[in-house]
Structure formats: structure tokens, C-alpha cells
């Protein structure tokens, strides 16, 4: 029988000799690692003293870690279940009529001749000046309006004004493009729908471009003598500090003050709060030590004062 050579005795089903999925490339100086599939199989059929390829000590440590995580999750769930319900907003108690009457009496004695700080000669001038006073001081508006009213004496003149020229004249009041656009559109509606005369009702005024309830109440109360509550930043601040309301929206504040203040004093009450807010009850550090309203003021939200 002829002797078979060693080459012929090699197995024919042996895998390829090149590195691949079944034969990873060996790194010099490192032990050759088993493929992942082989490692999984070896772990699944681990020998004695192992569980899934892990020793008994490693298995115990993993089990303890899992129990710890589970306990933490259960503890968190119990804490969230025991958590107190969210705080509900307490019911607001309206101020006593006696305290409101005392506040009105002190303010009336303190500011005997309340009037608008804006300079005007007719309802149209007051309307234009109020539009310009948004995000601007009354002093700056009074510096701009004399030349403005001389150049544009009526609503038709404002409606026909060149945008660039009008913007240049009111530039120093800020937001001059938006204000110029609102003035031209407002005066155009006054000419087209009201014969060039400023309306005398709140419902008609608020329909004009650039006119809200605040501007409408300013015109009604100061130009036509029709009572109206003007809610600006000073009125909003003082109404809260005096405990008259806890609303933050200007329209809500207006409707909250209406039943508290006699209608005949609506316009004057707005002026009183504006003047008091500028002189004594300032925004950052109110002068509570010299305020005549202090005996009747709960000082809501005041943390620092003089």
C-alpha cells in the first residue's frame, strides 16, 4: 500500500487560511481571542462553577446590583406617590370698602389737581401724544409734539403725511416706524369713518389702529370728561402693592378696580396712582417711610424700601 504524503492527509473541510470571521487576525504580543459567536456558545455552556460564563462571585455581585437598582426604583416610586399635591392658588379677598375709602381720601388730599402730563389742545393731539408715549417718557413726547402738531394740524394731514418725514420728526420717541405707521392708519380711519373727528366712545376708539383700552381711556377721561380707568405700569404696580387686586394683566386690573372705585373718580384715581408711583411708590425701592398711605397699605411684594 503506497504511503500517503503528509500533504494528502490534510483535512479537506478545513476553513480558509486567511483571516476572516472564523479566524481573526492575531496581534503580535496578544493572545488570540475567540469569535463572538464562539464566546457566546462557551458562556452558554460554561463548565462547572460558572453560570453563563461567570464565576459564582461575579454572579452574586450582578444579582446584588440588580436588587439594588430595583430597590432604588421602588423607593423613588414610593416617594413620588407620597409627594404632596401641588399648591393651589389661595382665594383672593377683596379689600374692605373702608380701607379703599381711606386710600381715596388720602390720595385726593395729596394730589388736588390731577391732570395728564401730556400737552394737548384737542382730542386729536391727545390721541397722537398718547400713541407716541408708548415706551417713552411724557417729557420727551412734549418736546416732540409742538413742531409735529404745527406741521400736521388735523387728521387729514397726518393721514397724508410722507412716512419718511413723519418718522424723522418722531424718531426720538423710539419705535418710530411702528408709531408712524399707526398714526397714519389711525388718522386715515378717523377721516374715512368719523369725518375727521376723534370718536367719543370706547368701542369706536379701540377699533382704530394703534389704539387700545389704555389710550382710549386717556382720551375719554382727559379730552371728553368721560370717566375711564387708565392702567399703565404705575397703576399696575400700585394696585398690587395696595392689595386692591392680584391680577397682572392690564385689562383684568381695569375690570378689578371698577367695582372698588366710584365711577366719578375713575380718571382722577388713575392720575393719583400715576403721580404717587412716580414720586413715592417707585418700582425698585419705594419710599415707604414717608408714604402717607402706609397705615392702609399691606405692602404686597415689597421686600426692600426706604
Q: What does the pLDDT read at residue 198?
A: 97
Q: What does the pLDDT read at residue 304?
A: 81
What pTM was estimated for this model as a whole?
Answer: 0.69
Q: Which of 138, 154, 232, 265 is catalytic?
A: 232
Tell the burial category of 198 from Cβ atoms under 10 Å away from its Cβ (0-12, 13-18, 19+). Answer: buried
Under CATH, domain 123-223 is a member of which superfamily? Hypothetical protein; domain 2 (1.10.340.30)
Q: What does the pLDDT read at residue 48?
A: 47
Q: Of 3.20.20.70, 3.30.200.20, 1.10.1670.10, 1.10.4160.10, which CATH number belongs to 97-113+230-296?
A: 1.10.1670.10
**CA geometry: angle at 168 spanning 163 and 173, to 5°?**
110
User: What residues in the chain have per-residue pLDDT under 50?
Assistant: 44, 46-49
Q: What does the pLDDT read at residue 66?
A: 72
Q: What does the pLDDT read at residue 71?
A: 61
Reply yes or no on whether 154 is catalytic: no
Q: How far apart are CA 198 and CA 280, in angstroms?
A: 35
Q: Are the CB atoms for 221 and 267 separated by under 8 Å?
A: yes
Q: Which of 113, 214, 249, 265 is catalytic?
A: 214
Reply yes or no on whether 232 is catalytic: yes
Close Cβ partners of 158 (under 8 Å, ≥ 6 residues apart)? 128, 152, 166, 183, 184, 186, 187
Burial per residue of 234-269, b for 16 or more beta-carbon CB atoms within 10 angstroms, e otherwise: bbbbbbbbbbbbebeebeebbebbeebbeeeebbbb
Q: What does the pLDDT read at residue 238?
A: 96
Q: Hey, where are the domains in the chain?
A: 97-113+230-296, 123-223
Phi, psi of 54 (to 5 degrees): -110, 150
Amino acid at each position: 500500500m503506497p504511503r500517503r504524503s503528509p500533504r494528502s492527509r490534510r483535512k479537506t473541510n478545513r476553513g480558509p487560511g486567511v483571516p476572516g470571521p472564523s479566524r481573526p487576525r492575531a496581534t503580535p504580543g496578544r493572545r488570540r481571542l475567540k469569535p463572538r459567536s464562539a464566546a457566546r456558545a462557551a458562556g452558554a455552556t460554561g463548565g462547572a462553577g460558572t453560570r453563563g460564563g461567570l464565576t459564582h462571585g461575579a454572579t452574586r455581585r450582578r444579582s446584588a446590583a440588580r436588587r439594588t437598582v430595583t430597590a432604588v426604583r421602588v423607593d423613588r416610586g414610593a416617594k413620588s406617590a407620597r409627594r404632596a399635591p401641588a399648591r393651589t392658588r389661595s382665594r383672593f379677598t377683596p379689600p374692605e370698602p373702608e380701607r379703599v375709602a381711606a386710600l381715596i381720601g388720602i390720595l385726593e388730599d395729596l394730589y388736588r389737581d390731577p391732570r395728564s402730563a401730556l400737552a394737548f389742545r384737542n382730542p386729536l393731539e391727545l390721541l397722537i401724544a398718547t400713541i407716541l408715549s408708548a415706551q417713552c417718557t411724557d417729557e420727551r413726547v412734549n418736546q416732540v409734539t409742538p413742531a409735529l402738531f404745527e406741521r400736521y394740524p388735523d387728521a387729514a394731514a397726518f393721514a397724508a403725511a410722507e412716512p419718511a418725514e413723519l418718522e424723522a420728526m418722531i424718531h426720538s420717541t423710539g419705535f418710530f416706524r411702528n408709531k408712524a405707521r399707526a398714526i397714519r392708519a389711525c388718522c386715515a380711519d378717523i377721516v374715512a369713518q368719523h369725518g375727521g373727528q376723534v370718536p367719543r366712545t370706547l368701542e369706536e376708539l379701540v377699533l382704530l389702529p394703534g389704539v387700545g383700552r389704555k389710550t382710549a381711556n386717556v382720551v375719554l377721561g382727559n379730552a371728553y370728561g368721560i370717566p375711564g380707568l387708565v392702567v399703565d405700569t404705575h397703576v399696575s404696580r400700585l394696585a398690587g402693592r395696595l392689595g386692591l387686586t392680584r391680577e397682572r394683566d392690564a385689562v383684568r386690573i381695569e375690570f378689578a378696580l371698577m367695582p372698588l372705585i366710584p365711577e366719578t373718580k375713575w380718571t382722577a384715581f388713575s392720575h393719583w396712582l400715576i403721580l404717587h408711583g412716580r414720586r413715592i411708590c417707585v418700582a425698585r425701592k419705594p419710599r415707604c417711610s414717608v408714604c402717607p398711605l402706609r397705615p392702609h397699605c399691606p405692602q404686597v411684594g415689597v421686600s426692600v424700601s426706604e
